[in-house]
Amino acid sequence: MIKRIGCWMGLALLVGACSGCGVLYTVIKSESKLDRLAVPMTKAEVVAQVGRPDRVLRDDGQMLVWEYSLTARKQWLYELALCPLSMWVGGCLFYPFTNIVADHQREYPHHIVLVNEELCAWGTPAAILQRRRACASSGTAALGVGGMRGRPEPVVTGVGPISRETIDRYRTMAVMAFEDAPGAEESGSRVAGMVTTLFLDLDINMVERAELDEVFKEQVVQLKHADDAEVLNVGKLVGAQAIVVGEVQQWGRPDGDQNSRVSLGFRIIDVESGVVLFNGEGYGSDTMADDPESLARAIVQRILARFGSQTGLIGSGRVGINWDLQESAGMRYYLVRELRSGLPAEKAGLKVGDRVVACNGAVLSSVSSEREAKRLCQVEAGQELRLMVRRAGQPIEIALTAEKRPGL
């Protein structure tokens, strides 16, 4: 009896210690809880799976944007390692101990977006920026890439020696801080963020900005004002095969001008040779936008559409699907997350939640990587794409014809 009581007391002390030094807390607050989410889900189902949000960022009657402060998946290991120390100096009382003692950020914002009380997108703010914008326009006529219907199209160029044969040499890239436009502070960092997000959509591994900042700090140089030799060296130090440098020449409305104007350019450079692999530039104007960000995004998207087509990462055609490669019971498939209104996939009858198991007869279970899957399902403008779909357990074949991708 006494032995049993001792065991229970020991267990209680262990649980108390773990919760005090943050282990239990970080398990409960882990970003892994987002893995429970799936489309479609109602607002009530989302709350049941991940709990109520820490903050409501938007609630306009149609769109809800919730913010959750969550810890990294393996943060509990970090807390466990510091547990004895945090217990000894009072980490249980002064939360969060590890933030203070190790200058280590404990929690990160994650957003969940619901439209008409149905789940639309989730993830870190940067990762779901495009999806959040698509959610905002859901139920309305599609504006296409960049949302430029009825407005002048941006003018872009994009050329360089990088090709389908050489792109696999550059699996990891690092985007440096872009130079700001005159009188437009932070315009460079906003465009650099867009470029990073869109490169991720092309299945390019991107070095995180925090890691870049840390290396620049160690090298005693500034991210924005480093010369070419310094940034190439930093690219090597963070394990990138290529870096992206750029500048914003115009941002906003010049004095006395009715148009919002954006002009920008960037270069992709091989860190070993210093050769410019791709040089993209673009400019545009818009009388309807006070904030030039949507125009800048349209320009960047069109430049990277040329890059993606030139390197074979995307086809020249678009069908309007946002999907994620997933695996279940040994089968790989694309889960359809969202459809852009008015584009071929929606017109052909594809639905959110469908599982695409094959493209043009090529079964996705046979691929070994995300990049290989994308190449199987990419399509050129005017070509037919045949999708084998499973919906509610039933096989369906859907055929659609791709439109030309803007910017090509």
Integer angstrom CA distances of residue 96 from 29, 53, 210, 337: 13, 20, 21, 36
The answer on 306 and 227 residing in a single domain is yes
User: Distance (Å, rounded) from C-alpha 18 to C-alpha 24?
Assistant: 6
Does 144 fall in a domain?
no
The answer on 281 and 164 residing in a single domain is yes
**Side chain identity at 192, as an amino acid letter?**
A
The answer on 236 and 109 residing in a single domain is no
The answer on 280 and 336 residing in a single domain is no
The answer on 287 and 177 residing in a single domain is yes
Nearest to 183 by CA among 232, 133, 254, 233: 254
Beta bridge partners of 120: none
Structural domain harbouring 348:
317-404
Does 150 fall in a domain?
no
Does 57 fall in a domain?
yes
User: Would you state the pLDDT for residue 114?
Assistant: 87
User: Would you state the pLDDT for residue 207?
Assistant: 84
The answer on 159 and 103 residing in a single domain is no
Question: What are the tokens at 342?
Answer: 């008015």
Q: What angle do CA 194, 200, 202 make, to 5 degrees?
A: 110
307-333 residue pLDDT tens: 988 888 887 788 888 888 888 888 889
User: Distance (Å, rounded) from C-alpha 120 to C-alpha 39?
Assistant: 7
The answer on 324 and 239 residing in a single domain is no
Does 143 fall in a domain?
no
Host H or E run for residue 58 = strand 55-59
254-274 residue pLDDT tens: 766 677 889 999 999 998 888
User: Would you state the pLDDT for residue 340?
Assistant: 80
| Intervals of the chain under pLDDT 70 | 1-27, 39-40, 60, 73-106, 126-152, 216-229, 255-257, 287-290, 406-408
The answer on 304 and 159 residing in a single domain is yes
Last residue of a domain, one of 285, 311, 337: 311
State how many domains the chain has. 3
**CA diameter of the chain:** 87
Q: How many CA atoms lie within 13 A of 16 on its CB side?
A: 7
The answer on 121 and 8 residing in a single domain is yes
Question: What are the tokens at 79?
Answer: 């807390």
pTM for the whole structure: 0.54
CATH number, domain of 373, equals 2.30.42.10
The string over 31-49, giving b where at least 16 C-beta atoms fall within 10 Å of a residue's C-beta and e elsewhere, is: bebbeebebebeeeebeee
Last residue of a domain, one of 290, 311, 332: 311
Nearest to 296 by CA among 140, 146, 86, 81: 146
Does 324 fall in a domain?
yes
Does 142 fall in a domain?
no
